[in-house]
Amino acid sequence: MRIYDILVARLLQNWVVSTVGAVILARDVEALRSVSMLAGTQHQHWDLLRELLTVYMTPPDALKIMLVGTEGDGRGLFARAGKDQSLVFMSRRVDYRYKTNQGQRKSGWVTQLLDDLKVRDPTDFQVNIGKFAAARLFTGKS
């Protein structure tokens, strides 16, 4: 679980991920998952991370369906990983923000998606990286 926690903390605090980078990251996560399977018995956090990484590979126009499921059937990433967790991971996309003379701004597709989903952006406020720890994912602790 420590490897997972270190990887996720670095990802959410330091990295931005492109589509090509997401493919490489997914392969690396699969390798880390395989290694961690040799120790311990709790590995569902790796499966959830693999699902969360798909937000980097999905085109912006298909993200809504991926997040909420088809017709809002509750089988999307929001139901499996949580709204805030999914949106925080999505915020690490390289095309999520762009630079202007006034600083960083959200891309148009981001504001449109958040409005369509009627959710606020959790990255507008300080994000508690501790909420993403493997031990907290399946226990319901905040």
Judge whether 61 and 51 are in contact, CB under 8 Å. no
The pLDDT score that the predictor gives to residue 111 is 95
Model confidence, pTM: 0.86
Count how many Cα atoms sit within 13 Å of the Cα of residue 44 in the half-sphere of its side chain.
7
CA 51/CA 83 separation, integer angstroms? 13
Q: What is the pLDDT of residues 12-62, one digit of tens each?
A: 999 999 999 999 999 999 999 988 888 877 778 888 899 999 999 999 999
At 97-125, the pLDDT tens digits run 999 998 889 999 999 999 999 999 999 98
Can you spell out the DSSP letters for 41-101?
S--HHHHHHHHHTHHHHS-GGGHHHHHH-GGG-S-SHHHHH-HHHHHHHHTTBTTSEEEET
Please report, in angstroms and rounded to a whole number, the separation of the first and last CA atoms in the chain. Answer: 17
Average pLDDT value for the chain: 88
Domains of the chain, residue spans:
2-137
**Which of 52-61, 81-90, 129-138 is least confident?**
129-138
pLDDT of residue 135: 74
